[in-house]
Copies of this chain bind each other. A is one copy, B any other.
Amino acid sequence: MMGNVTDLISQDLAQLEQSIDNLLTTRVPFIKEVVQHIVKSGGKRTRPVLVILSAKLCGVKDDRHIPYAAIIEFIHTATLLHDDVVDNAKIRRGRFTANTLWGNEPSVLVGDFLFTKSFDLMVQGQNAEILRVMANATTRLAEGEIMELLRTSDVNTTEEDYYEVIDNKTAVLLSAACEIGAVLGSVDADKRSALREFGHHLGMAFQLKDDLLDYVSTDSTLGKNTGIDFKEGKVTLPLIHTLKQVTPAERETILAALKKTKTSKKDFQKVKGIIERYGGLEYTSNVSKDHIEKARGFLALFPPSPYKDALLDMATYIITREA
């Protein structure tokens, strides 16, 4: 996260880390060990930061938003645990995944614990409105993950299919994060809707940029390597845009690389070359930027404040980040 944002809410971020530790009570110490491994592995806390900034933008003065910021990180962590099982991922954020260290079984079950514990904590929070937002968001999240799975290696995935997938698997939770802030601040329906939309477009841009980085990110032990999504058969916008224009021979090249169980670096570079030729990366970057423009527009409803500036900065950061 960018320094100016973290400086602005440094106290809240410290409270967040405390809350993540405190709320994670369980009869089974091993659960805490697995969760700590992934939750303390240097994630950017994007969703909690959105809860915090939205709450403050909407006038929340106390620390009511902190537990919700922690809970939304738990839910995100649950999906990471299950994603890594589904994708058979070995490394995340430069560290071994939980499924590599402990096997698939604990990853599945600890993910379940994080889902159920999050609901338990939200129920204890006794905010019916937030419960509704989050129950809906997590259901759509689960649906989005399955939509994505069903589209694996599917070269007939349309742009619309793709947008539906990333809306559900990613944008929904960022949108809910922003809406929680609005609910806690008891702002009017227009402002609440504006923050929900801001989060939605931010989330779309976020995932688009992520999918772009899979093609262009520079290799680094800390960040993501390129080509991981492609090797897992994920058909994302750079490829979808390209597939619309390619020659039959190029299409065959892409198909062959996508269906291979072990895609080589050379295969991937060949596909990347085709995508570059047809402007797939630029197109994706532009769609991502459009979403950021829309997101920024939805904040026009709010008077100037450091929190508004921080949200605008986050929007910029999301499309300019390199990892």
Seen from chain A, the residues whose Cβ lies within 8 Å of a Cβ on chain B are: 26-28, 30-31, 78, 82, 85-86, 104-106, 108-113, 115-117, 119-120, 122-124, 126, 128, 131-132, 135-136, 138-143, 145-147, 149-150, 168
| Chain B residues whose C-beta falls within 8 Å of the C-beta of A138 in the assembled complex | 116, 119-120
Known A-B contacts A82-B112, A143-B28; A105 and B136 likewise in contact (beta carbons under 8 Å): no
Known A-B contacts A104-B104, A112-B115; A146 and B86 likewise in contact (beta carbons under 8 Å): no
Complex formed: what's the CA distance from A28 to B147 in Å?
7
Known A-B contacts A85-B108, A108-B86, A149-B105; A116 and B128 likewise in contact (beta carbons under 8 Å): no
Evaluate contact between B123 and A126: CB separation under 8 angstroms.
Answer: no
| Chain B residues whose C-beta falls within 8 Å of the C-beta of A28 in the assembled complex | 143, 146-147, 150
A-B complex: 7 closest residue pairs judged by Cβ atoms: A113-B142, A120-B135, A116-B138, A123-B135, A116-B139, A86-B105, A112-B142
Complex formed: what's the CA distance from A109 to B145 in Å?
7
Complex formed: what's the CA distance from A149 to B136 in Å?
31
Complex formed: what's the CA distance from A108 to B136 in Å?
19
Q: What are 29 A-B interface contacts by the 8 Å CB criterion? A: A27-B140, A27-B147, A28-B143, A30-B146, A31-B146, A82-B108, A82-B109, A82-B112, A85-B105, A85-B108, A86-B105, A86-B109, A105-B149, A106-B146, A106-B149, A109-B146, A111-B112, A112-B115, A112-B145, A113-B143, A116-B138, A116-B139, A119-B138, A120-B135, A120-B136, A123-B128, A123-B131, A123-B132, A128-B128
| Chain B residues whose C-beta falls within 8 Å of the C-beta of A136 in the assembled complex | 120
| Chain B residues whose C-beta falls within 8 Å of the C-beta of A140 in the assembled complex | 27
Shortest distance in angstroms between A248's beta carbon and chain B's nearest beta carbon?
30
Shortest distance in angstroms between A23's beta carbon and chain B's nearest beta carbon?
12
| Chain B residues whose C-beta falls within 8 Å of the C-beta of A105 in the assembled complex | 85-86, 149
- With contacts A27-B143, A131-B131 known, what are 6 further pairs, Cβ within 8 A? A31-B143, A86-B105, A105-B149, A112-B112, A115-B142, A119-B138
Shortest distance in angstroms between A146's beta carbon and chain B's nearest beta carbon?
5
Complex formed: what's the CA distance from A299 to B42 in Å?
53
| Chain B residues whose C-beta falls within 8 Å of the C-beta of A143 in the assembled complex | 26-28, 31, 113
Shortest distance in angstroms between A315's beta carbon and chain B's nearest beta carbon?
28
| Chain B residues whose C-beta falls within 8 Å of the C-beta of A116 in the assembled complex | 115, 135, 138-139, 141-142
From A106, A115, A141, name the one whose CB has the most chain B CB atoms within 10 angstroms.
Answer: A115
Complex formed: what's the CA distance from A107 to B143 in Å?
13
Q: Which of chain B's residues has its CB closest to A141's CB?
A: B116
